[in-house]
Amino acid sequence: MKPHDVLMPSEGMDVVADLIAGRLPLHRLWLEPDPDAWLAQWAPALRAVASNGHQFPIDPAFMRRLPHLEIVASFGVGYEHIDAKWAGEHGIVVTHTPGVLDDEVADIAMALTLMAVRRLPQAERFLRAGEWPKSSFPLTASLGGRTMGILGLGRIGKAIALRAESFGLDIVYHGRHAQPGVPYRFYPSLAEMAKACDILMVAAPGGPETRRLVDAEVLRGLGPDGVLINIARGTLVDEQALIEALRTGAILAAGLDVYENEPNVPAELIALDNAVLLPHVGSASVKTRRAMAQCVVDNLVAWSEGKPPLTPVPETPWRGSWGID
């Protein structure tokens, strides 16, 4: 096994594996007849991991099995499936793919907003079912005059804000702290921001700290004309509380691209006519997914050449060469 061999623990998009294999020796653990036995034999020689999906947690137990691990290159912006804090404490750099998918996800965020407020999927189903000759589609709510509260004003949140402003929406935001130089009003309390807006856009990272941050209290704050849009992680929203809010009319509608237990979506949510549901396609264009895959490869190649990885996560800053051969 060569010094720069890369381990991919789980299957994902073919383009990721193909691009890595074009530059570095790649081992696909899921193809091994006995992955545990293979890993027990080869783990001491492995120093790089390519994480190709959230279905395989890169936790301390797994990283301990690779005693000479130096880098985990993850496909995607979110990396809550990786214990980055532990990795950083043990000299392992974790990289992700920020920037390359911001615009694509922001476009879907605004599309979901329009779809949910104006009931566009319902209108299309109405036409396809042959109902239009019988009657007009019911009038809908309007997007104009609304305030969008953005939970998580990072790169994607800012890209959404720019688009929302062009639609004439007022913008406010909530996060861990107020950001200098941002022209939008900051709310230190999510519950208070929910009361001040009627579109709540969820764009914050996942993980234990944000789990079910959008709960029944926040949804009540949005009110009966309120709309929830989630393009971040399903874990940020209390799914049962959302189902109840939609079912009872506590909020007007929701537009979701992510769910708590993907790809399993609760039947109660699917049955609701005021929920617009997409199968996690925020960044799912050929161009963007290839750019994400290339970012994974570029980080691994930089590491293999003893150079700083391009996009390390904050918990694992690059500390220089760790004796790479």
Provide the 8-state DSSP code for 148.
Answer: E
Q: Are 180 and 127 in contact (CB under 8 A)?
A: no
Catalytic-residue membership of 280: yes
Residues β-bridged to residue 172:
149, 185
Catalytic-residue membership of 90: no
Rounded Cα–Cα distance for residues 74 and 82 (Å):
9
Q: Which of 70, 233, 239, 289 is catalytic?
A: 233
Rounded Cα–Cα distance for residues 27 and 10 (Å):
10
Q: How far apart are the first and last CA of the chain?
A: 13
Rounded Cα–Cα distance for residues 174 and 153 (Å):
7
Burial string for 299-320 (b: 16+ CB within 10 Å, else e) reads bbbbbbeeeebbbbbebbebee
Q: Which of 192, 280, 290, 315 is catalytic?
A: 280
Do the strands 48-51 and 6-8 form a parallel or antiparallel pair, or are they unpaired? Answer: parallel
Q: Which residues of 113-190 form beta strands (DSSP E)?
A: 147-151, 170-174, 185-186
Q: Which of 124, 217, 262, 305 is catalytic?
A: 262
Catalytic-residue membership of 262: yes
Residues labelled as active-site residues: 233, 262, 280
